[in-house]
Amino acid sequence: MIEADEIIMTTQTYMNLSTSELINMALARKEGVLAANQALTVTTGLRTGRSPKDRFIVKDNMTENAVDWNTTNQAISSEKFSALWQRASDYLQTKESAFVSYLKVGAEEKLSLTVKVKTELAWHNLFTRIMFIRPDKPITTDQPDQWTLLCVPSFKTDPTRDGVNSDAAVILNFAERRILICGTYYAGEMKKAMFSVLNFLLPEQEILPMHCAANVGKDGKTALFFGLSGTGKTTLSADPERYLIGDDEHGWGEEGVFNFEGGCYAKCIDLSQEREPVIWDAIRYGSVMENVVLNSDTKEPDYTDVSLTQNTRAAYPREFIPLRVEANQADQPNAVLFLTCDLYGVLPPVARLTKEQAAYYFLSGYTALVGSTEVGQGAGIKQTFSTCFGAPFFPRAAGEYANLLMKRLENWDAQVYLVNTGWTGGTHGQGGNRFSIPTTRAVVRAIVNGDLRDAQYETLPGFNLSIPKEVADVDAKVLNPRQAWTNTQEYDDCARILIEKFTDNFKKFDVSNAILSAGPKLD
């Protein structure tokens, strides 16, 4: 066994390589192959999604009273972190090469962070060059107040020695502005780690961090799309008729909306050129595909093959989207969409929410887990409540984010809508059908065009939701979900089950009576 003082420091560090240079390095090092569409295609081994049980936050004077400590925000000591950081750094020094890029997160200059990304793999560095924001002028030396992200996937942790749960760990140290990722090859951990950093820091600046996509119409009106992975954020925001800001992470403050990232990270399962042409065309040379199976002869990607995982992914830069907002930020939103994937088939395709209902459904975060985004989630789809439509990424108490949402809604005339991208006419697996992408696009079009602001509405009993009586290009019989079922008694039974789940889930929140009474109620 090699002792620490016997390590020969021969690592060559490559600084700020270009996209093509990183691709060439990845190919030469056999980290991946080029697909027929010229995207660099890689596999991530056993972990094909995030590993929430392996995520920790250093508990110190800065975080002790600010973080909502729970099974998602797990605590680890500064001493354990420092020792593990040193071990991972020493281990990387035994490797032939390492890759460093200086990047940014946050398109709002006054709020952006510089991050020094140091990776064991060339393709991981390429991923961050795609997903983070490349500075206008290359940065070559350490900056004041910069963050450092160290990713060493082949270094395995020891739970007994390191105070972690497995052979992998993702650890955020806010006081030292460091992130350590080891034992996992899944690149999404890097982007979500920096997302969590901004989610912790920005509320102190009165900025609402959001797990949402954002785009702008030709009329200059901004729309936000909240939702978990697989429920439609990337697909619906990549609209051929609108200008994209970003597909996943944004901030909302007094100056408007701004993107945290410089790229998009789309799910590839069942990707279709016909249904999702913007995403299809963006996957080309300069992008990365994770765990997408290629035809052994032609190297054509088979987006229907989920033999490695249902969480197949593609990362591509915003520049690959022809219609995009160049500034990567926009004015205050006019429309806010909560994308919920309802497996019970009892929620309408669209409902208009009051501000109090918006707070209720934001805190509830009712939707579905789609396509094994997390390790251990398994295949298939299952119902969940994910606070703020992104519970795994928000270190602070949920109420802080909900209060910021209410403040934004009170200060700006943004209408909030609940949009069901899930099932209708029955439950998942029991006679129901999932809303088609064209149907949901028609709903979204009516929202962002302002057609639903002055539409005629009726009230859906139990949920007390305002549902439109008519939406262009949408079959009227599905607008009221009860009428879409052939057996209304079965609908009532399923609605009752879901309302009970909402009620039970919401007991953990301490909110005003106005917000509490805005939720669904049993007759």
Instruction: Write out the catalytic residue numbers.
Output: 50, 192, 211, 229, 233-234, 248, 313
Instruction: Please give, one letter per residue, the 3-state secondary structure of 15-73.
Output: ECCCHHHHHHHHHHCCCCEECCCCCEEECCCCCCCECHHHEEEECCCCCCCCCCCCCCC
Backbone angles phi, psi at 153, to 5 degrees: -70, -30
User: In the beta sheet, which residues pair with residue 499?
Assistant: none
Residue-wise DSSP of 447-469: HHTTTTTT--EEEETTTTEEEES
Return the C-alpha torsion angle 329, 333, 334, 338, nearest 10: 120
Per-residue tokens: 437:
């992408």
> Residue 206: exposed, middle, or buried by beta-carbon count in 10 A (0-12, 13-18, 19+)?
exposed
What distance in Å separates the CA atoms of residue 257 and residue 253, rounded to the nearest whole number? 7
Per-residue tokens: 149:
């992200």
Residue with tokens 């936000």: 224
Beta carbons within 8 Å of 316's beta carbon, 6+ residues apart:
39, 130, 263, 264, 266, 282, 283, 284, 286, 287, 288
What distance in Å separates the CA atoms of residue 314 and residue 266, rounded to the nearest whole number? 5
Query: Of 474, 465, 467, 468, which Cα lies nearest the Cα of 440?
Result: 474
Amino acid at 325: V
Per-residue tokens: 90:
């020493």
- Compute the C-alpha angle 232/40/122, nearest 5°: 110
Decide if 234 contacts 247 (C-beta within 8 A): yes
Decide if 339 contacts 225 (C-beta within 8 A): yes
Residue-wise DSSP of 91-126: HHHTSSEEEEEEEEE-SSGGG-EEEEEEESSHHHHH
What distance in Å separates the CA atoms of residue 509 and residue 206, rounded to the nearest whole number? 21
User: In the beta sheet, which residues pair with residue 257?
Assistant: 252, 330
Beta carbons within 8 Å of 267's beta carbon, 6+ residues apart:
229, 230, 234, 311, 312, 313, 371
The residue count of the chain comes to 523
What distance in Å separates the CA atoms of residue 463 and residue 172, rounded to the nearest whole number? 39
